[in-house]
Amino acid sequence: MDKISALIPKVLAKRGLKDQAGASYAVYLAIDWLHALSVDIAENCIVTTIKDGVLTIECLNSVVMQELNQKSDELKSHLNSFDGISLSAISIIRSRNR
């Protein structure tokens, strides 16, 4: 009998959901990393999408954006250390919502 940890990737791949599940997991990990870095930064950032290996993070103000730009390589390395996640870049943009 297979373990559940071995079955989940097979089921996701069969249903065509493996990429979406991986992207969702990467977004979750990025949000968790931001909170560990600084609650102030995390509250002013919105991790939005992963498309073509690029994680996009929107910042609500330019100060947070600048701070996060300095840490983006560290975040990318952290996320790429997990199986199934392969980011080529992190795009940090200024949010238009505020």
**pLDDT at site 91:** 95
Residue type at position 46: I
**pLDDT at site 97:** 67
Q: What is the CATH number of the domain that holds 60?
A: 3.30.300.180
Q: Measuring CA to CA, how many Å separate 72 from each of 11, 16, 79? A: 33, 30, 11
**All residues at 6 or more sequence positions from 35 whose CB lies less than 8 Å from its CB, including other chains:** 42
Written as six digits, the tokens of 20 are 């979406």
Report residue 97 CA to chain centroid gap. 20
> How does pLDDT run across 39-76, given as a tens digit for each residue?
988 999 999 989 989 999 999 999 999 999 999 999 99
**pLDDT at site 79:** 94
**pLDDT at site 98:** 57
What residues make up the domain containing 48? 4-94
Per the structure, the count of domains in the chain is 1
